């Protein structure tokens, strides 16, 4: 097969998003590109990386991607975009020149632009929230990371109030405390965290199926129809995991108090409380719900260093009955060949929160620190 035939086949690839071959093909293409790049290619690719995120942030602020998407993949003139954004055509063309070179928008002709697949993604709520989160929240601390490490003699970062975040924003506050005073940034973070919620954790989960079947077979323990709490979503944000549970097991809706959603007041603002018991709670204080069957933590522990995680688990352990369990829904890092996204998340957690992603041994050590048995 010659190179032209190979290129035609690669360009014709259209693997569905849920096809397991998709990740394998992406990895193969990345590896092939790496082998093809010259030293000059590698170095030159470094230059636009900061610019790309900055100009994506500009595009979000101007509503540029939304304006293009509104035209349903039709051509939009530079003059029309300049009118809608309030940016002079001479300056806007320079922004569009860069965005089209990175394939975020399509330059369809002289002074003509249209939305492509990436434009549609960037115009969405999730991508907008991600761009704001990456640029506005993670950007300044990441810029400060090299100097911070130099000043601290490259020691482990494990204190949430002594990280590059404090240096980047010139604050003594931990990230979550700082964000709670900035509603727009806090809102974008909540949007992004909500987008990461998924019902995948409920698929083929035989242990959970057994627990809930048994729970539903039990009669309520008192005349008010109440039963011991089944599921406490600790730090559960807007309650999407709770609603996923109710969707799979609708019979739980009739069991008052069976599902409890807990978070800080600002996180619970505007939450749909239908069929949920919503409770304001700081997981660094004593757990008010005693003897629940399941205490559930999703994407909580990776935001905190080890000692903070031990404190969180200690409060839960003190409230458990003999048959209670803590269910931790988190990434488990492989010991070698960590995927790029997980490795990047680990660095981001360290830089902003003084926290980390963890492997099997590290998760087991946390459980052992509060005399719990881990089942991974």
Residues annotated catalytic, as ranges:
302
d(CA 162, CA 150): 14
Instruction: Give 233's strand partners.
Output: 261, 296
């Amino acid at each position: 097969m010659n190179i032209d035939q190979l290129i035609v086949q690669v360009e014709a690839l259209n693997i569905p998003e849920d096809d397991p071959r998709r990740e394998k093909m992406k990895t193969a293409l990345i590896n092939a590109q790496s082998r093809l790049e010259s030293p000059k290619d590698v170095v030159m690719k470094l230059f636009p990386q900061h610019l790309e995120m900055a100009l994506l942030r500009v595009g979000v602020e101007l509503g540029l991607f939304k304006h293009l998407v509104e035209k349903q993949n039709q051509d939009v003139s530079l003059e029309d975009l300049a009118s809608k954004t309030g940016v002079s055509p001479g300056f806007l063309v320079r922004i569009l020149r860069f965005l089209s070179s990175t394939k975020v928008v399509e330059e369809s002709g002289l002074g003509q632009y249209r939305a492509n697949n990436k434009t549609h993604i960037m115009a969405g709520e999730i991508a907008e929230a991600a761009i704001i989160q990456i640029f506005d929240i993670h950007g300044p601390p990441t810029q400060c990371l090299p100097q911070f490490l130099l000043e601290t003699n490259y020691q482990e970062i494990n204190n949430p109030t002594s990280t590059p975040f404090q240096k980047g924003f010139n604050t003594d506050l931990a990230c979550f405390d700082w964000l709670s005073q900035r509603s727009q940034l806090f809102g974008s973070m909540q949007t992004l965290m909500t987008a990461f919620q998924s019902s995948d954790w409920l698929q083929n989960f035989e242990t959970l199926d057994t627990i809930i079947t048994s729970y539903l077979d039990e009669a309520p323990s008192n005349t008010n129809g109440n039963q011991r709490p089944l599921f406490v979503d600790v730090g559960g944000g807007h309650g999407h995991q709770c609603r996923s549970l109710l969707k799979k097991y609708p019979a739980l809706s009739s069991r008052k108090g069976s599902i409890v959603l807990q978070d800080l007041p600002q996180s619970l603002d505007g939450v749909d409380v239908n069929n949920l018991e919503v409770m304001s709670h700081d997981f660094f204080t004593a757990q008010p719900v005693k003897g629940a069957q399941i205490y559930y933590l999703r994407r909580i522990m990776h935001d905190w260093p080890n000692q903070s995680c031990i404190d969180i688990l200690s409060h839960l352990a003190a409230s458990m009955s003999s048959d209670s369990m803590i269910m931790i829904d988190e990434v488990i890092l492989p010991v070698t060949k960590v995927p790029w996204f997980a490795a990047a998340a680990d660095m981001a957690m360290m830089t902003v929160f003084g926290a980390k992603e963890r492997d099997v041994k590290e998760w087991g050590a946390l459980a052992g620190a509060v005399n719990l048995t881990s089942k991974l």
